[in-house]
Chain A
């Protein structure tokens, strides 16, 4: 829409590598004044990396960076800020213990000549700005007391009203409710009409198509396409994001995959109308013995919260949980474990003891069973050794500190811990994230073995491949609610993305 005029920001042949892995390869990107520019691509496609280069987060890269037709190089986010570039990062970066007003003016509070903060002026101006954005809160409340969605809106508002002429929003809508999204879009369009340029990264393709003028698609660190939003469709964008043809070594799941007709066993877990503040709304499902239930959704869709509730780490606000038909309220993770539920969380730091040997990491869940009072180190090591051999953990030395193992092998240790237990229901969060193909396949095989042994398994992931490679039945979670179930029918990556 702004064709003919020269762009205010122009990047040529940008390449950026992290420790030998190229995150961006020769990417061109142009942003015009008064334009909302949508960016889409899978996790790790390079969108965020490119934006972090623009915002000065990554000062090291190769390629040409032109701002207002002049070659520029930011050494820090401060430089980018001074040049009028503001970014809202995917992860909330607010100061929860400061007031709303302080957060809005973070880093440039209005002061008088002596350098004292002018509290009243700050509160008044913050209040005015926020109400322009349709947010009605007392500027002197502590930010952390507000719901997450509102905190996110306030962070966005801070950047929007910072006077920046280029604003980058990385996944801004994932924690917002539909009316809040609406409000954000109205403000973005108003700012655009006033001449501000906005880059909008999102997994929600409908949002991108609705609000942006131009869309750029990334895949594997490359820019695949850039088109006017009016000239494209959700289907076409998804296709460009995933890429047809044998580009990847792995199964790409672009073609339809038949989910099996239900041949599963008894219901192990029944979840009814589970709700948690702004994270989950009336989530109901069943997990059956001998079946892998996949739960797919974008980051922030409520998966993590759901997994924590199942394992007794979070308490739901409403709804019920039943294991083998008996209603349960877990007061602790220990109670969930005793009820036969196991969780492998998404972060290895959160599930393993890096300074302890492998066997202690494996035996921790079974100590209660093998030792009443005194430890039985010989038995412990024997059980651990068996698991290490079964899962082909390398090196197969149970006395080695866990920190010495590679990431994929650590992930296997986390599984081994629960295989020795073993649970009735195994909940896996992002079981193959960040793994190479070999380790991924190992994990897939382990999960299939467990299913054959009659465990009920729930796999939660933001990666469609993970869910498609493992699940017999798939639920799609969107903004805390189950929006679609795939069972006994054809499913593909397109369809999953379409539903989410």
Chain B
């Protein structure tokens, strides 16, 4: 014990600052980017319809809802936590905003019509409340986020079910309709909202004190506590941020799809997690950011969209997506190990 303590003075203080070590330490950022370039090049060659302006627009629109949800999830994963309730919260928020909007007479839902702004505020309050429940479960009661948000996934799905009772609602407030399915100067509003939210997330993480705390808590939670940070407050905040981002994504998603119904967002859970992790944000916390999430979004977007442009068995698509995700996870873990070696 003590004898080995005294032997911890390795003589390799002067490290070579060459290109190889730099690349190794940046592998987390480089690998996803290379994947993106490779996939884009591959589909551009394989299909003449892939590399067109129209299709780039398609891809942007297709990743927008995932992108909005992934902003909040990036905060959570940076803190080395997880939020499995994002898709459910998106779904219930989308349903709630429709529930508070006057529907056509043939829609058989006992809804409570309200002015548009009130419907939006109530829906936002709902997702914030659900996020707060996640936050309290995680920090005050001490339930691991994996389990807590798993429960919340069910709770939010349950609320959704009670609100729509198997029916489909179509109307949402005009503002949501515009942002979700309208466009300005040829650019869909939903892409603009996603871009603004991603930018906002990036600015918060990079330039604010709160953002720094998120990285510090994720990098070494114990050290953050010993530095006198209120770790529980920070963890609670990221859970609420995640829920609110999911809620916004859900409202715009409902307008984008043109309907609000049960289980509408189920695929967005895996897509959002995949976007964050494929982009290179560390599942162990403290490394990565919105920049990585954007790259991850494009990798997924290009992959999903590109597979539609090439002639491929549609069932095989699912398997290919799984394999790409696995490869990204391996790189994620491997990059973490390389960094730790570089730091020791």
| B121, CB-defined interface residue at 8 Å | no
Binds B, one of A5-13, A69-77, A226-234, A368-376: A368-376
Is A21 located at the chain interface by the 8 A CB criterion? yes
Q: Are A44 and B216 in contact (CB under 8 A)?
A: no
| Given A18-B7, A375-B208, CB of A313 within 8 Å of CB of B225 | yes
State the CA gap A215–B130 with chains docked (Å).
65
Q: In the complex, what residues of B have CB within 8 A of residue A313's CB? A: 225-226
- A352 at the binding interface (Cβ < 8 Å): yes
Query: Is B1 in contact with A407, judged by CB distance below 8 angstroms?
Result: no
B173-181, B228-236, B262-270, B291-299 - interface stretch: B228-236
Q: Which 3 A-B pairs have the closest CB atoms?
A: A337-B228, A403-B343, A23-B3
Indicate if B6 sits at the interface (CB-CB under 8 A). yes
CB within 8 A of B220: which of A49, A332, A353, A436? A353
State the CA gap A368–B215 with chains docked (Å).
15
Tell me which residues from 317 to 344 in chain B have a Cβ below 8 Å from any Cβ of chain A. Answer: 339, 342-344
Is there contact, CB below 8 Å, between A333 and B219?
no
Using Cβ atoms and an 8 Å threshold, which residues of chain B touch A49?
A: 3
Residues of A within 8 A of B231 (CB): 332-333
Residues on A with beta carbons closer than 8 Å to the beta carbon of B8: 19, 407, 434
The one of B209, B223, B232 in contact with A353, judged by C-beta atoms closer than 8 angstroms, is: B223
A434-B5 CB under 8 A given contacts A355-B343, A371-B209, A375-B207: yes
Bound-complex Cα distance A355 to B80 (A): 15
A334 touches B2 (CB 8 A): no
Please judge, given known A-B contacts A334-B230, A375-B208, whether A350 and B223 are in contact too, CB under 8 Å. yes
Q: How many residue pairs at the A-B interface have CB separations less than 8 Å?
A: 120
How many residues of B are counted as interface, with CB atoms below 8 angstroms from the partner's CB atoms? Answer: 40
CA gap between A345 and B7 in the complex, in Å = 21
Is B15's CB under 8 angstroms from A404's CB?
Answer: yes
Q: Which residue of B lies closest to A407 (CB)?
A: B8
Q: What separation, in Å, do the CA atoms of A156 and B227 have in the docked complex?
A: 37
- Does any Cβ of B come within 8 Å of A354's Cβ? yes
A228–B236 Cα gap in the complex (Å)? 62
Mask of A77-111 contacts with B, CB within 8 angstroms, 1/0 = 00000000000001000000000000000000000
Whether B3 and A375, one on each chain, are in contact in the complex, defined by CB atoms closer than 8 angstroms, is no
> A333 is contacted by which of B9, B213, B229, B343 (Cβ under 8 Å)?
B229
| Given pairs A334-B230, A365-B227, 16 additional interface contacts (CB within 8 A) | A44-B5, A332-B231, A334-B229, A349-B223, A351-B227, A353-B220, A354-B220, A355-B219, A355-B339, A356-B215, A360-B212, A364-B229, A403-B342, A403-B344, A406-B9, A407-B8
**Shortest Cβ distance from A36 into chain B, in angstroms?**
22
Q: A336 touching B228 by the CB < 8 A rule? A: yes
A434 vs B287: C-alpha distance when bound (angstroms): 30
Q: Which of B187-210 contact A (CB under 8 A)?
A: 207-209
Please, could you name 21 A-B residue pairs with CB atoms under 8 Å apart, sorted by A?
Answer: A20-B7, A21-B3, A24-B3, A44-B3, A44-B6, A48-B1, A313-B226, A334-B229, A343-B226, A351-B223, A352-B223, A355-B286, A355-B287, A367-B209, A375-B209, A375-B211, A401-B343, A407-B8, A417-B227, A434-B5, A434-B8
Residue of A nearest to B228 (CB): A337
CA separation between A49 and B1, bound complex, in Å?
Answer: 7
B residues less than 8 Å from A367 (CB atoms): 209, 212-213
What is the bound-complex CA distance between A44 and B287, given in angstroms? 37
Q: Mark A411-436, 1 if CB is under 8 A from B, else 0.
A: 00000010000000000000001101
Q: Is A311 engaged at the interface, CB distance under 8 Å to the other chain?
A: yes
| CB contact between A350 and one of B10, B213, B222 (< 8 Å): that residue | B222
Q: Does A46 contact B (CB under 8 A)?
A: yes
> Are B219 and A356 in touch, CB under 8 angstroms?
yes
| Chain A residues whose CB sits within 8 angstroms of the CB of B287 once the complex forms | 355
Looking at the assembled complex, report how far the CB atom of A199 sits from the nearest CB atom of chain B, in whole angstroms. 16
Contact: B207 with A18, CB < 8 Å?
A: no
Please give the residue numbers on chain B whose beta carbons come within 8 Å of chain A beta carbons, in ascending order. Answer: 1-10, 13, 15, 207-209, 211-213, 215-216, 219-220, 222-233, 286-287, 339, 342-344
The chain B residue sitting closest to A21, CB to CB, is: B7
Q: Is the CB of A18 within 8 A of B228?
A: no
**Docked pose: A311 CA to B1 CA in angstroms:** 27
B342 to chain A, nearest CB (A): 7
Question: Once the chains bind, are B226 and A21 in contact (CB under 8 Å)?
Answer: no
Q: Verify B9–A407 contact, CB threshold 8 A.
A: yes
Shortest C-beta distance, B133 to chain A (Å), equals 21
Assembly CA distance A356 to B343 (angstroms):
10
* A373 and B228 within 8 A (CB): no
* A43 touching B228, Cβ below 8 Å: no
Q: Which residues of A contact B213 (CB under 8 A)?
A: 367
B208 near A48 (CB under 8 angstroms)? no
Q: Specify the chain A residue showing the minimal Cβ separation from B342.
A: A403
Contact yes or no, A351 B6, CB < 8 A = no
Chain A residues with Cβ under 8 A from B224's Cβ?
A: 364
Answer whether residue A342 sits at the interface, using C-beta atoms and an 8 A cutoff: yes
Tell me if B228 and A333 are in contact (CB < 8 A).
yes
**Nearest-neighbor residue (CB-CB) of B5 within chain A:** A434
Which of chain B's residues has its CB closest to A348's CB? B223
Instruction: Specify which chain A residues have a CB less than 8 angstroms from the CB of B209 in the assembled complex.
Output: 367-368, 371-375
- Chain B residues within 8 Å of A401, by CB: 343
Once the chains are docked, how many angstroms separate the CA of A352 from the CA of B208?
Answer: 21
Does A350 lie within 8 Å of B226, measured CB to CB?
Answer: yes
Q: How far is the CA of A221 from the CA of B342 in the complex (A)?
A: 33
Q: Which of B5, B227, B343 contacts A364 (CB 8 A)?
A: B227
How long is the Cα–Cα vector from A342 to B226 in the complex, in angstroms? 8
Q: Collect the chain B residues with CB atoms within 8 Å of residue A345's CB.
A: 226
Given contacts A364-B229, A404-B15, contact A18 B3 (CB under 8 A): yes
- Nearest CB of chain B from residue A24's CB, rounded to whole Å: 8
- Cβ A365 vs Cβ B212 within 8 A: no
Name which of B227, B228, B339 has the most chain A CB atoms within 10 A of its CB.
Answer: B228
- Given the known inter-chain contacts A355-B339, A367-B212, A374-B209, please indicate yes or no for A46 contacting B3, CB distance below 8 A: yes
